[in-house]
Amino acid sequence: MEMEIVAGVHCATGESPMWHAGEQAWYWVDIPARRIWRRDHASGELRRWLAPEMVACIAASSGGGLVAGMESGIFHLDLHDDGSVGASRLAAPPASDLGEGMRFNDGRCDRQGRFWSGTMFMDMAAARAVGGLYRYSSGGGLHGPVVSSMLTQNGLAWSPDGKTMYLSDSHPQRRTVWAYDYDVDAGLPHGERVFLDLNGQKGRPDGAAVDADGCYWTCANDGGVVQRYTPAGKLDREIELPMAKPSMCAFGGPDLDLLLVTSIDPGTGGDAGAVMLLRAGVQGVAETPFM
């Protein structure tokens, strides 16, 4: 397996890797550091920006800049040459749904360019099931919670045809991935079913991606591996990583055949908090920017 640790990068909580096809560059975030990172694919040049509050998830915007789930809502972000970030809030749930100690977490766009993200209570030890999953669109604003009572929302991904939505709860008390039938016109999931029950298995199902074969790749946080599951829920590949807490993966590169994996540093040193590029032997699906 061909692997490369991206030099010059360390994240406390690396998350939300994204391939920006228009720029031929990778983006990801470091949540508690309020950092947005960018790596040019051809040159390897690194850049970073400091946001005004924690950024948990990002997606490219078709109009330029990024759309992001942050502490206090959904934002449009402009990245400035001086390393600062211009942040314009687009929408936010009621204060009762995004109160003190909460923030948005995992998120991405569906195949139609609607932005989805979920909320969580940051103190995971409290095990407060107060998180919800929301959809934001330029024409319809914020909708939700579409799914409620989540502990640690994660694992959002869509099948190549957009007709199946995946969602996980990575909290130690849940460790579950669900699949939904997805109405691509209305932008609504229905028919919830357990796709993967990973209780008693290696790690917890954190961030995820789907490849061109429709297989679901999930980062096994605390398990030190990335796993590939077929659409039938069968484990068919497992890649060992040098960090114990991989957090999210994304396909990219000019041929969509690279997998970028972020990770979390719990203070153990070594490669914890590293960002890694690897060739997984399959091709991914191009992400749709926010429309």
| Residues assigned a catalytic role | 206
Q: How far is CA 96 from CA 78, 102, 183, 207, 260, in A?
A: 28, 10, 28, 26, 35
What is the rounded CA–CA span in Å between residue 168 and residue 91? 24
- The arrangement of strands across the sheet holding 164-169 comes to 153-158, 164-169, 176-183, 188-197
Q: Which of 52, 67, 177 is closest to 113 using CA atoms?
A: 67
* Tokens encoding 177: 């991935």
Could you tell me if residue 269 is left (phi over 0), alpha (psi between -120 and 50 degrees) or otherwise beta? left
DSSP category for residue 54: -
Q: Which of 157, 280, 159 is closest to 214 using CA atoms?
A: 159
Residue with structure tokens 């008390």? 173
Residue with structure tokens 């890694």? 276
Look up residue 280 and give its amino acid: A
Neighbours of 134 (CB within 10 A): 26
Q: How far is CA 6 from CA 72, 145, 275, in A?
A: 31, 36, 6
Residue with structure tokens 């490669």? 271
Q: Sign (positive/negative) of CA torsion 194, 212, 186, 117?
A: positive
Torsion of CA 269, 15, 211, 194, to 10 degrees: 100
* Tokens encoding 171: 């909290």
